[in-house]
Amino acid sequence: MSAAERTPGEQDGKAVRTGKGMDAGAPSQSGPRFDPQDPYTLLCERCGYVIEELDREGVCPECGKPISESLPMRRSIRWIPFSNHTKTLSTGLVTLRNPRHVLTNLVPTQTNCADLRFCWLVSASVVAALGASIIQLMSEWSAGGSLLDLGTIGLVLAVFPFIIFGAWIDFEILAWIEKHILLLIAKSRGYRLTEPTARTICAYGSVGWVITSFGFLIASPGIGHLARNGESNWLVMTILAIGSLISLAGFFAVGSFAYRGLRLCGFVNHAPPTEPVDG
């Protein structure tokens, strides 16, 4: 039978994946030789077609993507925990500026991705806590008090660690929800997205929460002013508008990175266990 005559699900006696949710992984009549759900089975990372034993210099028979672009050993982006703060900042900037480059070169099974997520979420929590403190100080000032009132400053300093902890818990819950939404959508659409890959995607995308918190920090003086006397002016409204736009940009960065991650890493191939997959 020629390649053109094969029906979806047949590829020289191998189980193939014919795309997102289209009888993905259905075995051929000859029986499956490779399990498409096994993360170590080589799939085309664009359409999910099984490309095991095909010429590495060739292309995917279903979508035409070069097979070399689906090989796991080409992926090289991994984060080394706390080795270099400049490197961590650079990772975040590259993630925001060129998410496609990061996702197409990301090592999908980074066991230290929890540390990267923790780094971004704690940073976002500290920034959010600063914003909450400014709201409290601005509320006192708008009511006729002094920004240098020792009682108010002492109260702010006393609750500051608790605000950080509370914000961190909130961000962790959001990251957990995001990961499970990714896995749920991937399952419903027939992707082969593993839990470690979803966790890694969410860890890199968590830099967006820092942007969201920064927007809250920018808006906090205006929020504090309105919270105390309810009066607004053009300056307060401008501050609130700028802060809100920055926060929305952060939300968009988190959501769009997760969406791109689902599209670009839905059939991502994992390096075999005998090969190093983590720094």
Phi-psi sector, 186: left (phi>0), alpha (psi -120 to 50), beta: alpha
User: Is residue 277 in a domain?
Assistant: no
Q: Are residues 62 and 126 in the same domain?
A: no
Residue with tokens 């605000």: 163
Q: Are residues 65 and 89 in the same domain?
A: no
Answer whether residue 275 is part of any domain.
no
Which tokens hold the place of 199? 């966790």
Whether residue 88 is predicted with pLDDT greater than 50 in this model: the reply is yes
Using 50, 70 and 90 to split pLDDT, how confident is the model at 257?
A: very high
pLDDT the model gives residue 143:
54
Q: How many structural domains compose the chain?
A: 2
Residue bearing the bigger pLDDT, 11 or 259: 259
Phi, psi of 77 (to 5 degrees): -80, 115
Confidence of residue 25 (pLDDT cuts 50, 70, 90): very low
Q: State mean pLDDT over 263-277.
A: 77
Average pLDDT of 102-119? 85
* Model confidence pLDDT, tens digit, residues 132-158: 998 888 776 655 556 566 677 787 889
Give residue-wise pLDDT tens across range 208-233: 999 999 999 999 998 888 877 767 78
CB atoms within 10 A of CB 239: 17
Does the pLDDT at position 178 exceed 80?
Answer: yes
- In whole angstroms, give the CA distance from residue 90 to residue 206: 14
Do 135 and 218 have their domain in common?
A: yes
Q: Is 231 exposed, middle or buried (0-12, 13-18, 19+ CB in 10 A)?
A: exposed
Domain co-membership, 47 together with 139? no
Is 124 found in the same domain as 64? no
Two structure tokens written together for 148: 């240098």
Chosen domain end from 42, 70, 98 = 70
**How much is the mean pLDDT over the chain?**
81
What predicted TM-score, i.e. pTM, was given to this entire model?
A: 0.80
Nearest CA to 37 out of 46, 198, 27, 155 is that of 27
Q: 274 in helix, strand or coil? A: coil
Rounded to an integer, the average pLDDT of 60-67 is 92
With cut-offs at 50, 70 and 90, classify the pLDDT of residue 1.
Answer: very low
Instruction: Name the more confident of 39 and 247.
Output: 247
What's the pLDDT at 169?
Answer: 97
CA 178, CA 212: separation in Å to the nearest integer?
A: 16
How far lies 95's CA from each of 45, 124, 253, 259, 278, in Å? 20, 16, 9, 14, 19
Is residue 56 one of the residues assigned to a domain? yes
Q: What is the DSSP letter of 78?
A: -
Tell me whether residue 15 is in a domain: yes
Q: Residue 148's pLDDT is what?
A: 65
Higher-scoring residue by pLDDT: 101, 272: 101
69-78, 88-97, 187-196, 258-267: range with lowest mean pLDDT: 69-78
Is the domain of 40 the same as that of 91?
Answer: no
User: What are 45-57's pLDDT values in tens digits?
Assistant: 999 999 988 888 8
The percent of the chain in helix, strand and coil, each rounded to the nearest 5, is 60, 5, 40
Give the end of a domain, one of 36, 70, 104: 70
Give me the pLDDT at residue 276, please. Answer: 46
Residue 12 has pLDDT above 50, yes or no: no
My answer on whether 131 and 197 are in the same domain is: yes
Please tell me which residue, 228 or 198, carries the higher pLDDT value.
Answer: 198
253 vs 12 pLDDT, higher one: 253
Residues 48 and 124 both lie in one domain: no
Average pLDDT rounded to a whole number, residues 201-206: 95
- Same domain? 139 vs 249: yes
Contact yes or no for 268/45 (Cβ under 8 A): yes
Judge contact between 112 and 143, C-beta under 8 A: no
Better pLDDT: 148 or 196? 196
Structure tokens at 244: 């809100």
Q: Is 86 exposed, middle or buried (0-12, 13-18, 19+ CB in 10 A)?
A: exposed
Structural domain boundaries, residue 62: 1-70
Residue type, 116: L
Backbone angles phi, psi at 231, to 5 degrees: -95, 140
d(CA 181, CA 274): 31
With respect to residue 80, please indicate whether it lies within any of the assigned structural domains.
no
Tell me the C-alpha distance between 144 and 128, whole Å: 25
Contact yes or no for 53/222 (Cβ under 8 A): no
Q: Residue 204 and residue 112: Cα distance in Å, rounded?
A: 11
The SS3 call for residue 106 is strand
Residues 31-35 have a mean pLDDT of 64
pLDDT at 108: 85
